Amino acid sequence: MWHFIVNPSAGNGKTGQQIPAIKSALKKAGIPYKMLLSERGWHCAELAQNAIENGARKLVAVGGDGTGHEVMNGIFNQKVVPTSEISFGFIPIGTGNDWVKTYKIPRNIEQNIAILKAEKTTFQDIGLVHYLNDKNEPTQRYFLNVAGMAYDAFVAKISNKERRKVSSTLYYYWLIFKCLFKYKTKHARLILDHKTTEQKYYTINIGLCKYSGGGMQFTPHALPDDGFFAVTGVKAMSYLGVLVATAFLYGHIGKHSKSDLSKSKSIKVEPMHDGETLLELDGEYVGKAPVEFVLLEKSLKIIVP
């Protein structure tokens, strides 16, 4: 039995509109299923965890990157079975759909159902993140794609509050421009496998996969199963410098003079004297530093083409 965790509001309501088509494709493919609909924030994580605790072993997230983020967290929050025993599938109908780009998972529903039925799987690394929430409480969460700190998290915080019915890439560019003149770079201490760097960062990205921000590649050197975090640190730059740098974000950020690309198994980010360093995970704003990233190697079993 497949359990489909659906966020009807994902993609500005497009996911809810596609439910009849999904049911039709499942019936045509002869796949037994149960469909669970989320009703609020973080409900997808709760639905996934409860489903597993009640015997589910095949879960499919239906929506955008935020939906996948929640369902994956539900998988890792449960303590009934090892995560390696749970298959994670994805039907992308959201706005950004960045994680699926790494695996070339199609948006066509019937093609996607055929992939689920074939049940070809692989394993991906997952990141466990310890941080402070906005109430300064120690918190932890998992991520499966890309984490962003400093300016990226500032944009995500605004984005989570101000959803707009536009294409994700255009929306992200609009937010970059809108937020650029409000954001002030802060000093941070970045510790990678015991190597420490202290400076003002425009942005810090930690990737398990390559794509984020509606198709941008902040971590083009990321591989989802190589046992390393891909890290991109970009030093502070002028407003004009930021606008010019956007041309490098689609796979060429490593060529920018202000960027530093590396790989690491362990990461810590600590705030310094001049303010907070914010954090987003898979596009969802969650809190701030101090942050510690722990790598869980090949811990998520995913269904791929």
Residues in the chain: 305
Residue 166 has a pLDDT of 47
With pLDDT > 90 as the criterion, what percentage of the chain qualifies? 77
**Domain termination residue (choose one: 119, 137, 163):** 119
Burial of 170 (0-12, 13-18, 19+ CB in 10 A): exposed
Residue closest to 251 by CA, chosen among 237, 266, 241, 261? 261
Residue 215 has a pLDDT of 84
pLDDT (tens digit, 9 = 90+) per residue, 146-202?
A: 999 999 999 889 877 766 544 456 666 677 777 887 888 999 999 999 899 999 999
65 vs 216 pLDDT, higher one: 65
CATH number at residue 79: 3.40.50.10330
Residues 64 and 144 in one domain: no
Residues 105 and 155 in one domain: no
Is there a domain that residue 200 lies in? yes
Q: How confident is the model at residue 2 (pLDDT cuts 50, 70, 90)?
A: very high
Residues 98 and 45 in one domain: yes
Q: How confident is the model at residue 111 (pLDDT cuts 50, 70, 90)?
A: very high
Angle at CA of residue 228, ends 82 and 200, nearest 5°: 125
Q: Does the structure show a pLDDT above 60 at 34?
A: yes
225: how many CB neighbours lie within 10 A of its CB? Answer: 13
pLDDT (tens digit, 9 = 90+) per residue, 78-107?
A: 999 999 999 999 999 977 789 999 999 999
Residue 49 has a pLDDT of 98
Is there a domain that residue 305 lies in? no
pTM for this one?
0.94
Domain total for the chain? 2
Range 44-68 average pLDDT: 97
**Domain termination residue (choose one: 74, 99, 119):** 119
Q: Which residues of 64-96 are buried (b: 16+ CB within 10 A; e: fewer)?
A: bbbbbbbbbbbbbbbeeeebeebbbbbbbbbbb
CATH number at residue 152: 2.60.200.40
Is there a domain that residue 304 lies in? no
Each as own residue / partner, the long-range contacts of residues 72-75 (CB below 8 Å, 24 or more positions apart, any chain) are: 72/48, 72/126, 72/142, 72/144, 72/300, 73/45, 73/48, 73/141, 73/142, 74/5, 74/44, 74/45, 74/46, 74/47, 74/48, 74/49, 74/50, 75/48, 75/49, 75/300
Residues 152 and 230 in one domain: yes
pLDDT (tens digit, 9 = 90+) per residue, 206-262?
A: 999 999 988 889 999 999 999 999 999 999 988 888 878 777 766 788 888 899 999
Residue 96 has a pLDDT of 75
Residues 292 and 169 in one domain: yes
Residue 172 has a pLDDT of 64
Residue 66 has a pLDDT of 93
Residue 171 has a pLDDT of 67
Range 115-129 average pLDDT: 98
- The whole domain housing 143 covers 126-297
Is there a domain that residue 302 lies in? no
